[in-house]
Structures are given as C-alpha cells and as structure tokens.
Amino acid sequence: MENKSRKLHVSHLPFTGKCCRLLLQSMMGLMCYIPLQAQHLHSTAVTIRVDTTVTQEISPDFIGFGYETSAVAQAGYFSPENRELVRLYRNLSCHGLIRIGGNISDHARYEPNGVSAAHTEKQTTLINHVDLVALAGFARETGWQVMWGLNLGTGSSEQAAGEAAAVEASLGASLQCFQIGNEVDLQSNYDRKFKDFDAYHAAYISYQQAIRKKIPGVPFSGPDVAGNLGWFRSFAQQESPHIKLLTFHYYRTGAHHPKATISTLLAPDTGWDKRLDTLAQVSLKRGVPYRINEVNSFSGGGKPGVSDVFASALWCLDYMFSLASKGCNGVNMETDINQLGWISHYSPIIHDAAGHCSVRPEYYGMLAFSWAGTGQLVKTDISKGDINLSAYATKGGRDKGAMWVTVVNKDLANDGQVKIQLPSGYGKGLVFWLKAPSVSSKGPVTLGGTAVAADGSWTPGPPGKIVVKENNVQLTVPHTSAVLVRFMPAK
C-alpha cells in the first residue's frame, strides 16, 4: 500500500467485470426511490443517447483488489475456509485479480518453514509455505488469479528467485504474473536506491534473469509506478515484448490534504483524465494492456467521513466505468491492512478481531459495476448542462440479450431529469437503485433494495419497472445517487 509521506497523487475514475451466478428476478411491483435528503436545490434536464454500433470490450478480470503483502500472513484470511470473504469475492466476479504487493513487498521475506508474521513497513513481514498454500486455495475457490510483488527494496535477486519459485509452485494456474518492486519511481526520489530509470531498470533485469533461470517463461508486469509517466513510457519501450501488463497507481490526493473532502472526491479530475489518455496511447503503441493496479480515494489510508461513506460508492462506480471507457484493463482497489498496520478507511472489505468480514459503502460501487459493467461498453452521448452526472451503457455481458444503462449522479445539489434515447428493439426496463440515507452515510447502503448479508451473500430485491415509449425512457435520478437500468429486447 502507499506511504502518505512518499506518494504522488492524481485524480478520479470508474469500472469492472463479472460472471457469477446472480440471477436477475423479473418480479412485480414498482420500487420507488426515496430522495437521499429531504430537500434539493435544483433539477436539471439530461439527455442520454445510446449508440450500440460503437463498442469496446471490457476485460473479464477488470475487477480486482490490492493488498499489502502482510495480508497474506494473516492467519485464516486468505483461506478457502473464509466463506464470508469467498462470497464477497464471488458476488463481484468468478475471475478477478488479486494484487499482493504494496510498500510491504519491499519489506517482506519468504521463509518456507518460518513463523509467518504480519508487520508494518518498519519491520520485516515473514511469509511461509502454509501462507502460500492457503492463498492458493482461496484463489481456486474464488476463481481469481494473483499478481505477486517481489522485494526490490531490501531483498536480493537470489531471494526473489527463491520466493518466486515457491509462489509459482503453490499457485500454479492461479498465478497471473510477478512484479518486481513497488512504486519504484518514488524509490529514486526518497530512498535514493535508484538515481534514475536506467539504474532501476538494470536492477529489474537482474531480478528477472535470476527468476527466469528457475522458472523459464514466467510472466511479468510493471513498472508499478506511483505517477511517473516518463518511467512508464521507458519501461513500456524496453519491456513491452516481455510483459503481460503495464501498471500504474492512482489516488486523488493525500488523506491529510485540506482538499480530502467529499466535494473533491466527487468532482471531475481533468488532470487524471489527461494522464489516462497518455497511458492508453502508450499501451496501444506498445501492444500491452495497462492496468491501474493500486488505487483508492486518498492515500495514507483514506479519510474518515469521506473514504468510508456513501460518497465512496458513487466515486468507485463512476471511476471504474471511466477507466473502462479509456481502454483500461482493470483496477485493483486497495483493501485491508495498510503498510502502517491498520485497516484503511477506504477498504471496501474489512474484518474484525475474530476474522469475520463485512463491507463498507465502496464495496457497493464495485458490486454495481459487476452487474452493469460486463461485456461491451457502448457509446453514449450526453447533454446535461451544469450537473455532475455521468452515464454508461453496456451490452453482451452476462445477460446476453440485455443492455444496461448506468447513470451516476455525483452532484451534491442537482437532481437529474433524465431522458434515455435507446436504439430500436428494446422493450421494458428493470430498475435497480444504488442508494443510502445521504452522501455522508456509512449505512445502510443498498443495491437493488437489499444490503449484503452478514454471511457475505447478496441477492437483489424485486426491481422497479420502467416503460419504453418510442425508444425513449424518462426517470428522475436524485442528486448523490445512481441507478442501473436493464433493458430487455422487445418481443
């Protein structure tokens, strides 16, 4: 995970993928939306035009979580016996991506018969063979793969090669790739381990060669930078024939920054959008997908009252869709204990002292994306005036004949009077709201009228219904709310 004192920051986005067995229930009755606040200031007309002839694929493993390496040393956490966590993963996808790394990866060591110990970055975290077997079992049970980060900060190429061989032997087909080092661009700025990219790249090559002597052909990704576009470009130029993914990190700003507010989190981030354009261009030029493999709201563990409230769900849903619209391969939302040894405020999933897992509001943003963010993203044109509202559409996902339209109203005051103009051939729509009592509420949050149960399971309630008239649909999307509409082909 990130260190608040050594972090580059950027800005906002959304999206992800899914294939699990959550079946939609076309049930009776209209579910009315209750406004999040008793009063609102304005109502703004919005027109959304959907063009299904222009599409781009969403990666099947778009959805992911990111963990510090110390999470693997937590007894019983990554285990096929942790049924709550297994259900929470499978709610989202049956083939996502777990990233193990962060700052702790540069302060971790593998000892096959040692005593595992989860520590902060001030000490050395120990991972043993039992930990890897448990992680492998968890990965197989969920269907997710693992991206594993190796110690470039305080380790050696020989140690990394031994660890990589053990990880590969344990995970087998569940291993997606290795990464060498974490936020390597910051190591040049602060730790002075690498004075420039060339020094880092020489160290990277020495690790890669040592690992491939033990495991020929093993996949790698990188450069796992915090924000240095120059290092990203250089790594892509040098390593594109030999890597699986190009990787980059993102946080809106630091948790202790005065602008770490709900307003900032929900506001557009044009600077980050420009960086995404650059990442996409480099990815296309080099023929290697790019992924934002460490991301959340505010670095340093997030901001209480901002990162752990309903605003984070709206931000997350919009962010994931925004990433997908920029051709991104996927996202790994930072989760669980951080490099300072406590569960981050922004963590979508948390656990108590007994190990029981539960969710925070951000998880619901991921859950909404897992429903509406699969298959092909199709073109949407939006006329919206002065309102902070986004709209996305998909088709050909797990509901093969259906089309999903997602509207995220992040505006703090303006309701959206939304008109959706559809292509011909679609009949009724089923409506699922993402809502909470207010934008600053920690709960209850619901999607489709229901919350995630204590055992980690989730089943939506009866959907609302909406009539399609002459290929048009109209509905009100209140401020600080989101709605998912599933349109079925007309019979």
The residue with tokens 């991206």 is 147
What tens digit of pLDDT does each residue of 169-180 get?
999 999 999 999
CA–CA dist 175, 62 (Å, integer) = 16
pLDDT at 357 over 80: yes
Stretch 472-477: mean pLDDT, rounded? 96
Stretch 199-217: mean pLDDT, rounded? 97
Supply the Cα-derived Rg of the chain in whole angstroms.
22
pLDDT at 33 over 90: no
132: confidence class by pLDDT, cuts 50, 70, 90: very high
Instruction: Calculate the average pLDDT of the chain.
Output: 91
Burial of 424 (0-12, 13-18, 19+ CB in 10 A): exposed
Stretch 462-487: mean pLDDT, rounded? 96
Q: What is the pLDDT of residue 192?
A: 63
Stretch 310-315: mean pLDDT, rounded? 98
Share of the chain above pLDDT 70, in %: 91
Q: What is the pLDDT of residue 400?
A: 80
C-alpha distances in Å from residue 401, one per residue of 193, 196, 358, 396: 54, 51, 33, 6
CA–CA dist 109, 15 (Å, integer) = 34
- Residue 24: partners with Cβ closer than 8 Å, 6 or more residues away: 399, 430, 460, 463, 486
C-alpha distances in Å from residue 171, one per residue of 124, 135, 136, 155, 224: 23, 8, 5, 22, 21
What tens digit of pLDDT does each residue of 236-263 get?
999 999 999 999 999 999 999 999 999 9
| Greater model confidence, 23 or 317 | 317
- 42-57+377-489 has which fold? Immunoglobulin-like (2.60.40)
Q: What is the pLDDT of residue 27?
A: 28
What tens digit of pLDDT does each residue of 317-345 get?
999 999 999 999 999 999 999 999 999 99
Q: What is the pLDDT of residue 92?
A: 98
Global pTM reads 0.91
Query: Domain spans of the chain?
Result: 42-57+377-489, 63-372
| Residue among 416, 310, 442 nearest 41 (CA) | 416
- 63-372 has which fold? TIM Barrel (3.20.20)
191: confidence class by pLDDT, cuts 50, 70, 90: low
CA–CA dist 309, 436 (Å, integer) = 9
| Greater model confidence, 434 or 39 | 434
Share of the chain above pLDDT 90, in %: 86
| Residue among 388, 400, 473 nearest 431 (CA) | 473
pLDDT at 379 over 70: yes
CA–CA dist 279, 137 (Å, integer) = 34
What tens digit of pLDDT does each residue of 72-87 get?
999 999 999 999 999 9
Q: What is the pLDDT of residue 41?
A: 65
